[in-house]
Homo-oligomer: A and B are copies of this chain.
Amino acid sequence: MKLNEGIEWGIHCCGLLATLPEGAALPTTKLAEFFDLPKDYLAKHLQHLSRAGLVNSSRGPGGGYSLARPADKIRLLDIVEAIDGKGPSFRCAEIRRRGPSAVGSECYQKDCCISRAMLRADAAWRQSLASVTLATLCDESKEDMPSEQFQKAQAWIEQEVG
């Protein structure tokens, strides 16, 4: 079970957008530049964030992506599901209904207990992601970030959207 690299990209981009001054936006090119990411691949993931209603995009000079709602209203789960999809990690293929012991499908009253246990684990994963907001991540990131990096990031933002 390996998550798409776009998840890390999407979370970091949302984190950067959360630090922009009110009304400011950053286009794909600038987001890609800030994290040194391939622009075309990043564009695809940003479109997923946009389709999920997490970011807005605007055109023209000064246009680009901005957060569609405050960072404390965006959960880590929202970003992960925007990029990775909402479907559970486990899909039951009902192999219990095959082979020499199989009986008519009308006989199976309950979901397979293996599927239920796997889906409980999936729910625990999503619950953990739902408990963290982008605002919390931004606070933690600001605290953990080397001070020199913080200054360089601020200077870059000032230059791009100031």
Interface residues of A (CB under 8 A from B): 1-5, 7-9, 11-12, 15, 33-37, 76, 84, 87, 89-93, 95-96, 98-103, 107-110, 112-115, 117-118, 120-129, 132, 137, 140-141, 144-146, 148-149, 152-153, 156
Contact = CB atoms under 8 A, between A and B. Distances in A.
Nearest to A94: B8
Q: At the interface, is chain A mostly helix, strand, loop or mixed? A: helix
Contact of A100 (B33, B90, B100): B33
28 contacts: A1-B4, A2-B89, A3-B90, A3-B91, A5-B91, A5-B93, A7-B90, A8-B90, A8-B93, A8-B114, A12-B96, A12-B114, A34-B100, A34-B101, A35-B95, A35-B96, A36-B98, A36-B99, A37-B98, A76-B118, A101-B149, A102-B149, A107-B149, A110-B144, A113-B141, A113-B144, A121-B125, A121-B128
Contact of A152 (B7, B15, B100, B115): B100
B109 A144 contact: yes
Given A113-B137, A113-B140, A125-B122, A152 B101 contact: yes
